[in-house]
């Protein structure tokens, strides 16, 4: 799978987790057009990169243990004044 497609799926998983409406794994996988197994693989990947994801059984969906978001991209250091070449 191309990297940009994988990044897009991860960003969408993050959005689904942040939504107020419960979204069970089969429904989330269907909306992402991937298998449930692939969904679990992506969630495991996100956890390896520090996302505090867990399945909240009381609301029936994935959630973050802490307030925050998963970011895929480049974040420019605002204190950077130029190139060090």
8 vs 27, 44, 79, 82, CA distance in Å? 18, 16, 29, 30
Domains defined along the chain, listed by start: 3-64 (1.10.10.10)
Query: What secondary structure letter does DSSP report for 64?
Result: E
For 31, phi and psi rounded to 5 degrees? -70, -30
Q: Is 45 helix (H, G, I), strand (E, B) or coil?
A: helix
- Tell me the per-residue pLDDT of 25-71, one tens digit each, with 9 for 90 and over: 999 999 999 999 999 999 999 999 999 999 999 988 999 999 999 98
User: Tokens representing 38?
Assistant: 């692939």
The pTM of this model reads 0.81
């Amino acid at each position: 799978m191309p990297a940009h497609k994988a990044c897009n799926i991860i960003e969408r998983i993050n959005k689904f987790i942040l939504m107020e409406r419960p979204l069970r794994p089969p429904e989330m996988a269907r909306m992402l057009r991937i298998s449930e197994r692939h969904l679990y693989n992506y969630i495991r990947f996100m956890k390896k990169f520090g996302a505090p994801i867990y399945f909240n059984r009381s609301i029936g969906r994935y959630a973050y243990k802490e307030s925050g978001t998963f970011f895929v991209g480049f974040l420019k250091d605002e204190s950077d004044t130029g190139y060090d070449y």
